[in-house]
Structure 1
Amino acid sequence: MDIKLASWNINSVRLRIDQVIRFLDEEKPDVLGLQEIKCETDKFPYEPFREAGYNYIEVAGMKGYHGAATVSKLPMERLPTSFCPLDHARHVSTRVVAGDMSKGGMDFEFHNFYIPAGGDEADRTVNDKFGHKLDFIDNMKGYFTERFAKGDDQQVLVGDFNIAPHENDVWNHKQLLKVVSHTPLEVELLKTLQDTHDFTDTARLHRTDDEKIYSWWSYRAKDVFASNRGRRLDHIWVSPALHDAAVAAGRDGFKVHLDCRVWEKPSDHAPITQVLKL
């Protein structure tokens, strides 16, 4: 069976609810992780998602900013997790049941992250926001170490990681080496998280590092694709147990939905999707 996963930093779910529903109608993902929903949990627009067929909804909201939500056509249950040192609403972790277990279906954990941006200075001694970002990623590493030790190896990580790891995940590698989101320290820390647990970055699974991939473009650009000064801040990773399922989906199994970035009053991020052939 095919499972389609999606991730989108929507930059206010209430402001862009029509766009989200349009995306769900056109792309029909089974599970969607939203970041930066910018609303409290009780203010989340539950009904439009239910009307669209997404009856399973888990939200971590807070007033004014941050926030994450996962909506699913498939049954899922919330997992008790804590990653953010400042207790911001920056993640939703769930267990998703994909198909009838007695007929070859399986379940997997779906971790939806909005990793802190980290401020402007890549130095935690003068920038608490940068230290917060590094600590958040360290907490992720510790959590997955525990999960794998317990045999829970069917893991999916999605979200706005606020790090563009490869040289061709940014429009200009040399110019951005000192810019938070592409500094060597951040890139190395994210790589350590990935390598420690052998996660597959599905965007690069069927693409070489020479190919440019972006998912975010600044609002400052009048024509985002003419200048194309993008960064790949949004990610979908899978654990080794799901690696073959991502491989089987082929190159087209992963996609950045560029058209969404130029819809009227869009998010500065484009959604990404990954198909798993379970």
Structure 2
Amino acid sequence: MFTIATWNINSVRLREALVARFLTEEAPDILCLQETKSPVENIPLEGFRALGYRHFVARGQKGYNGVAILSKLPIEDAGDRDYAGLGHARHVAARLENGVTIHNFYVPAGGDIPDREQNIKFGQKLDFLTEMRDVFHADKPARSIMVGDLNIAPREDDVWNHKALLKIVSHTPIEVEHLSATQDAGKWVDITRKDIPEGLLYSWWSYRARDWDAADKGRRLDHIWATPDIANAGHGSRILRPLRGWEQPSDHVPVLASFDL
């Protein structure tokens, strides 16, 4: 069995101590980070290695985006893809010794206006998802786990108020349709919702809220999916809400699941 966690850390260098605390307290076997905001060579690995995370693959760029996979288990670099031709560090893959491939994604947020004619970032988000769909359709993934900040809360109970957010980027019908098409193309199973099928569930709370906990206007933007051939091995999903209350936190919290493989 191994446990995998995904966390948009919003700068791994700024929040190195938070990552170390999380690794110490929760000790997942694999941690996938998004929005590391650092060139790969500047990611602070020494402390993570001291905690047992000696294996590492990443893609990075200065100040923006960035994805990394830290692992106690041996992994090999399984490549990346420049989705939508943006030139961004938004995808990296790693392969475990048992042949399971882990894809770590950071889907573009999409800006504030849900209209590609008025907002180029929204168009880029839709194009990114379309290419993900096409890749999974052309080359059906097997023995694979996909995690990351997908920047979409697909279900009505993945947001604090479905009707209020229908015109807000991350929950608009067109984004949900694109994410659903991506999921269907790879026959991905949403492990979090397989384990926790009912009820409000969030992994992100805005920095803009004066009291995020009391307001509780959250969204489930962070996901763990698996291909059907290993989905039944997934269990024990958790979202660590308390970490949003740590000092100088990310606006996202870790999502975890375990796999018996």
Q: TM-score range with shorter-chain normalisation? A: over 0.9
1:254 equivalent in alignment to 2:237: yes
**Residue number in structure 1 paired with 2:219:** 231
CA distance in 1, matches of 2:176, 2:63: 29
Equivalent in the alignment of 2:199: 211
Point out where structure 1 has 5 or more consecutive residues left out of the alignment. 98-105
Moved more, 211-220 or 80-89: 80-89
Contact map agreement 2:82 2:89 (CA 8 A) in 1: no
Percent identity of paired positions between Structure 1 and Structure 2? 49
- TM-score, normalised by the number of residues in structure 1: 0.90
Distance in 2, Cα, partners of 1:44 & 1:146: 34
What whole-Å deviation, never above 9, does each CA across 1:159-181 have from its counterpart, x for those lacking one? Answer: 10000000011111001000110
CA distance in 2, matches of 1:76, 1:33: 13
Q: Which amino acid aligns with 2:224?
A: I
CA distance in 1, matches of 2:212, 2:135: 37
Would the aligned equivalents of 1:76 and 1:94 in 2 still touch at CA under 8 Å? Answer: yes
Using the TM superposition, give the Cα deviation of residue 123 of structure 1 relative to its aligned residue in structure 2, in angstroms: 1.4
Tell me, yes or no, if the aligned pair for 1:83 and 1:139 is still in contact at 8 Å.
Answer: no
Over the residues paired in the alignment, what is the CA RMSD in angstroms? 1.2
Residues 1:182 and 2:171 aligned together: yes
| 1:55 matched residue in structure 2 | 54
The one-letter code matched in structure 2 to 1:139 is E
How many positions carry a matched residue from both structures?
Answer: 260
Letter in 2 for 1:108: V
Question: The residue matched to 2:154 in structure 1 has which SS?
Answer: coil
Q: Which runs of 5+ in 2 are unaligned?
A: none
Contact 2:101 2:145 in 1 (8 A): yes
Moved beyond 3 Å, runs of 4+: none
For residue 228 of structure 2, what is the amino acid of its counterpart? P
Query: Aligned equivalents of 1:143 and 1:53: distance in 2?
Result: 34
Q: Determine the structure 2 residue equivalent to 1:275.
A: 258
Q: CA deviation at 1:93?
A: 1.0
Match in the other structure for 1:96: 96
Select 2:186's aligned residue among 197, 212, 227.
197
The change in CA–CA distance for 1:74 and 1:147 in structure 2 (over 3 A counts) is farther
TM-score, normalised relative to structure 2: 0.96
Q: Where does 1:7-86 land on structure 2 (aligned, <5 Å)? A: 7-84=6-83, 85-86=85-86
1:71-118, CA deviations, whole angstroms, 9 ceiling, x for partnerless residues? 111111112331432110111111122xxxxxxxx2211010110000
* Amino acid aligned to 1:57: F
